[in-house]
Amino acid sequence: MKSPKLYVIGAEYAGDVSLNIFFSDGVSKVVDFKPFIMNNPHPQHNRYMNPAYFKSFTIDHGNVVWGDNWDMVFPVEQLYKGVIE
């Protein structure tokens, strides 16, 4: 029997460039996105180091998304591990 698909049901700002993310299985994790952004500099990502932009995330189809064109989005499995690669 296949296990149900894991997805994000909500998130809240947790300071700096971190979110507390709530998953469909009832688990929540605080994820720090700063290491990813610092290690992968790109104009599309760099603006999200500014908390005002970082806080503009939305939840779309079970994903945490930044930007109208999904400028920044990560696999749910990585978010669940709490480490963005």
For the segment 49-74, what is each residue's pLDDT rounded down to a tens digit?
999 999 999 999 999 999 988 999 99
- Measured CA to CA in angstroms, residue 79 lies from 1, 8, 26, 43, 60 at distances of 24, 9, 14, 22, 15
pLDDT of residue 42: 87
Is 9's pLDDT higher than 80? yes
Q: Are 64 and 73 in contact (CB under 8 A)?
A: yes
Enumerate the domain spans of the chain. Answer: 8-81
pLDDT of residue 68: 87
Structural tokens at position 46? 């760099």
Tell me the pTM. Answer: 0.90
CA distance 15 to 30: 10
**Which fold is adopted by the domain 8-81?**
NE0471 N-terminal domain-like (3.30.2020)
Is 3's pLDDT higher than 80? no
pLDDT of residue 43: 87
Structural tokens at position 2? 């296949």
